[in-house]
Amino acid sequence: MTRAAFTTQDFARRIERAVEQAQAAGLDGVLVTPGPDLVYFTGYQPTAITERITLLVAQRGHDPAMILPILERPDAEAAPGGAAVTLTDWTDGDDPYAATAELLEPEGRYAISDSAWAMHVLALQAALPGAHYVSMTSTLPMLRAVKTAEEIERLAAAGAAADASLEEIVQVRFAGRTENEVAADLNALLRKHGHSQVDFTVVGSGPNGANPHHEAGERTIEQGDMVVLDFGGLKDGYGSDTTRSVHVGEPTAEEREVYEIVKRAQQAGFDAVRPGIACQEIDRAARTVIADAGYGEYFIHRVGHGIGVTTHEPPYMIEGEERLIEPGMCFSIEPGIYLPQRFGVRIEDIVVATEDGGRRLNNTHRELRIVT
């Protein structure tokens, strides 16, 4: 079932908040090019991102405006947030950068989407040499971090769909099939459970599980393999991302031990979630469990990342991130232990911070599952 679209007012409020955050950061406004930010602020996603400039300009003292190629106007008007912005179009043969410059303050300081094409930024710099541009993610990392109730419901629905996919994938045969075959099953299951986009289907069997960047390959899964399954994508515009590690046949005592440590670390990370603590404390809580068990050197990545209209975004649960958790922030908690050339274990849930702690958006059990 597709959920009701966000309203024009929802988008207007998001834009307003961006302008406030920009102002608090000493900027005049934000410049948004097609991609996740534009989807977030307008619901508008051009069918193709091209050399023709499309740019949302949100700045204090002005109504939000979007400049775009005239041929894209009907789609932009029809977008859920299309009515929240004033559209200005340009036609092939016009100078779109001169038209864009008219919307900007000559000496303005703007945060611009990280994915803005260099050709557009360079042309804007030439058209308006007094203006200054900084990276959106580095100056306003928390722009999309706090989710509304409706966004959280979408993330929960995406999480439930990923959970349903997990419950089905553990029923398939693993031994004797390749990682790619199991990954294809996962892809089909996510789509069957309502995902419109699959971002990753990691199937890391045996030694491949010890490489957190391994996706899936031609290795044939064998009896005795630990298998890391990490998958997710977008459902109704919001992301899922969950990991379970399963074992083909009876695990060894060592495999069980490593698994239990990761499970305890994941729980410790979850238990640390509450408003007002720094993101790095969640990393520390999970990492300490693994370090105390003697496996610290085998946990080689941050504990988590935010999730929303993309599957990886701020806030990051990482040492050095001192920003504070606020109610409505959604992020992964995904500690792992990776024993080179042997096997890996990772357990990942998406968690939303509430007033009084964490709420898991993935709810499949975290005991070690035996598959065939």
Please count the residues of this chain forming the interface with Zn ion, following the rule CB under 5 A.
7
Touching Zn ion, residues 292-311 (CB under 5 A): none
- Nearest approach in angstroms of CB 366 to Zn ion is 14
Rg (CA), the chain: 23
Residue number, 179 or 255, with CB nearest to Zn ion: 255
Contacting range for Zn ion; rule: CB under 5 A; set: 45-53, 69-77, 137-145, 216-224: 216-224
Minimum distance, C-beta of residue 261 to Zn ion, in the bound complex (Å):
16
Nearer to Zn ion, 113 or 332 (CB): 332
Closest approach of Zn ion to the CB of residue 290, in Å: 17
Give the footprint of Zn ion on residues 194-213 (CB under 5 A).
none
- Smallest distance from the beta carbon of 181 to Zn ion, in angstroms? 20
Q: How far is the CB of 173 from Zn ion (least distance, A)?
A: 17
Residue 224 binds Zn ion (CB under 5 A): yes
Q: Smallest gap, in angstroms, from Cβ of residue 247 to Zn ion?
A: 6
List binders of Zn ion among 38-97 (CB under 5 A). Answer: none
Of the pair 236, 348, the CB lying nearest Zn ion is at 348
**Smallest distance from Zn ion to CB 127, Å:** 40
**Site of tokens 């050095």:** 320
On whether the CB atoms of residues 197 and 241 are closer than 8 A, the answer is no
- If the CB atoms of residues 120 and 214 are measured against Zn ion, the closer one turns out to be 214
Q: Is 241 in the site for Zn ion (CB under 5 A)?
A: yes
Listed ranges 140-148, 178-186, 212-220, 238-246: which one lies at the site for Zn ion (CB under 5 A): 238-246
Nearer to Zn ion, 15 or 347 (CB): 347
Binding mask 332-351 for Zn ion (x = CB under 5 A): x---------------x---
Q: Which is nearer to Zn ion, 224 or 327 (CB)?
A: 224
Q: Does 230 bind Zn ion (CB under 5 A)?
A: yes
Site stretch for Zn ion (CB under 5 A), options 14-22, 153-161, 164-172, 218-226: 218-226
Alpha carbon distances (Å) from 127 to 98, 101, 130, 250: 6, 6, 9, 67
What type of residue sits at position 282?
I
For the segment 252-271, give every residue that binds Zn ion (CB under 5 A).
255
293 CA to centre of own chain: 30
Residue 362 interacting with Zn ion (CB under 5 A)? no
139 vs 332, beta carbon nearer Zn ion: 332
Helix axis angle for 149-169 and 179-192, nearest 10°, is 140
Binding status of residue 113 toward Zn ion by CB under 5 A: no
CB of 115 to Zn ion, least distance (A): 20
Residue 261's nearest CA partner among 299, 284, 238, 290 is: 290
Closest contact distance (angstroms) between CB of 185 and Zn ion is 17
In whole angstroms, give the CA distance from residue 230 to residue 48. 29
- Our CB check for Zn ion shows the closer of 64 and 232 to be 232
Q: Which residues bind Zn ion (CB under 5 A)?
A: 224, 230, 241, 243, 255, 332, 348
